Structure 1
Amino acid sequence: MKILYACLFLLAAPASLAAADVNDYPTEARADYVFVCMKANGETRDALKRCSCSIDVIASLLPYDAYVAAETVASMTQAQGQIGALFRASEQAKATAAELRRAQAEAEIRCF
């Protein structure tokens, strides 16, 4: 239950700071995103360029805390049982995930 409260606290983190004003994405998080993106889009130089662009766009639109919260929601909605159901039914979780999807869609438009 403590994990649930911690995750919900992350969801409530204010996203009012403009992400463009804060370069708060750790290098490890950016590298992880690019690695996964390249696996999905071919391991080419062009994929590296486009995937790097994609995380930069996402970082410009979403503060890192909001990104982490959205990734947590995405992971938790895959969980079986009551915890997964809580995240799938939560309006706040749905909104958080939607915010990430919007940023990803913008990145797709700009970079791919």
Structure 2
Amino acid sequence: MQDISILFNLIIILLMLFNTYVFQIGLVAILLERFRALLMLSALYLTFSIILHSWLMNLRWLNTNRFIWTDGLQVLFVVQRAGSVLYYYFYKRTSEYLGDPRLYEDSPWLREVFVRARQ
């Protein structure tokens, strides 16, 4: 369920990016530059989560009578949980930034960026 939720969160962020005026006028590079950290962290966090959950399910499926916790699994668990802190921070920051009205209407800031992009 967590992996599916992370995937849906990524889809929602992408849909919100596609609905901006900046995307609609073709300045996709600006959006990707600004939200690169979130997109990369989302992909990494989803990958770590899928690997961790698959590994845990595989170990528990093979031996249901014992609790198995290997060193590699513990390292992956710590990395995944540390990544989750960054993921949720950047996700929250991105959702707040996507509420900026300058992304949804024509503005002097956007015109200046558009002129710089054309040069």
* TM-score over 0.5 (shorter chain): no
TM-score in terms of structure 1 length: 0.38
Greater CA radius of gyration, 1 or 2? Answer: 2
When the two structures are superposed, what TM-score results if normalisation uses the length of structure 2?
0.36
